[in-house]
Structure 1
C-alpha cells in the first residue's frame, strides 16, 4: 500500500451558516492518492492558522531567513469583520493559494500537517441544524475557473431530488436514504454517484435512486452523440443484464450517450450496450492514474435493478432501447461514410453535420446528434 497524499484540492464555494451564530465556511473537494474524493468544510480563520503553522514548520521555504528563498505562497490575514463580500472575494485567493501549495516539493505538499488539515472530520459529514433557524445558504464557484467571483450575486439554490426507494450505505462516505426522502444535490459526478445533503447528513448516493421533484429524470440527460467519443475500459466488466456490454480491461470503445446515472451507452463495431462509466477512461489519458479510481467506489446500481421503486411522476419519459441505439448508430455511420453530394451546400453541410451530429432522421424523432426516446427495453 502506497503513501497517503493529496492529488488535488478544488474550492467548490462557500456556505453561510447561522449556528451557533452567522459565519462562513469554505467547501473543498479533496482528491486523495487513490482518487477518492471527499468534501470538507473549513473556516478562513482555520485556514489562516494552518498557514501560520506551515510557515513555522518550514521557515526557509517561508522566507523567514532569506526572503528570496520563499516558495510558500502568501495568504492575507483575516479582517476584523468578515462579511459575505469578503467571503466571496477571497475565493480567488484561496484557489491560487492551494494550487501553488500543491505544486511545492513533496516535503511540503505531502506533509502530515496538510494531510491532517484536510482529513474528513465528523462535522464535515454532519450539518449543524436547528428547527428554529435558517438552513445554510450555499454559494458555488463558477465552473469556468476564469470567471470572476464577483459574478456570484446570490446563493445557489441546490437542486432538490427525492429518493424513489430505500438505499442502505455500504461505506462511511455514502448516505442512507429512505423512500420519499428529499435531498439537496451538491455535486453530480459522471460516475453516477452524487454528493447529497439531507438535514444533518451528507454523503454519496447513487443517482439511480433519485428523481427531480418537478420533472422526470430522463429529461435532464444530455443528447446522444452518435459520432462517438473514444474511451478505454480500465476494468473488466461482465454484463449482468441483456442490454449491457461486456468488456475486458484495455478494450477500446466509443461512448455515444452519457447518462446521468453513470451507465453510459457504448459502441463497439455495430454493437451497443450499457457500461459503467466509472470503469472507463478517455483514450490517450494516462492509464495508471485512472486504474486507481476503481478502488474507491464501484459502479452504482442501475434503475432497472431497484425493487419497489416509487416515482411521483405518473408519466416518465422512456429511454431508448438498445435496438434503437443500434439502428440509429448504424444509420449515422452509413450516412457519414457516404461521399458528399455535389452542390452548393456539400462542403458547408458536411462540416455542419460532422460538428453538430446532424444527419438522417433517426428513431425517436431525433436527428443523428439529438436525443430521441423510444420505448424502453
Structure 2
C-alpha cells in the first residue's frame, strides 16, 4: 500500500485527505493467543472489501505494477505450510526473502476528546490508544483503533513516551533556584 501512496500521492490524499480514492488497507488486529483463527476470519470481510475497491479504481491505478504484484500468486499461496510448522519461527538463515514482514505501527495516546464530524473521521476518548497508519502534512492523521479506522486531528494525540520526562514528580537538582533569606523589613516610622 505504501508504494501505491508514493506513486499516486494525489489519489492517496497527501494534499487533501478528503480527496483520497485509494482504499485503506484494513488495520492490524492484535492477536490474542487463543483467538488467532477468529481474528483471521473477522479480517476476511474487510480485506475482501479492500481488494474489490482496489480493482474498481481507474485503470491507471488498478492495473499498475504494484496492484498486479499484490494479486500475483506466490508459491506459498499454492503450497500452504504444513500443520507442524504453523506458529514456528524460521531461523535467520532459512528465512524466505520474498516474505513480507508486518509493518510496525506507531502508537499514540488520545489526550483530548474528539467527536467525528464527517464519515471519514472517527471519534476519540481521552486515554484511548491508537495505531498511526498515516501522518498527513495537513495535520490530520489516519488511525486505527480496535473497532474502527478514520481521520483524526493530530493535535488530539501524543506519543506514548512523550511527556514522561516533562512531568516528573521529583524536582531536578537546582530546579527551585537559589533564594536568599532576609529578615522581614521593619519600617521605623510605623512604630
TM-score by structure 2 length?
0.44
TM-score by structure 1 length?
0.24
1 or 2 for the larger relative contact order (CA 8 Å, sep ≥6)?
2
Structure (1 or 2) with the larger CA radius of gyration: 2
From the two aligned structures, give the one with the greater strand fraction. Answer: 1
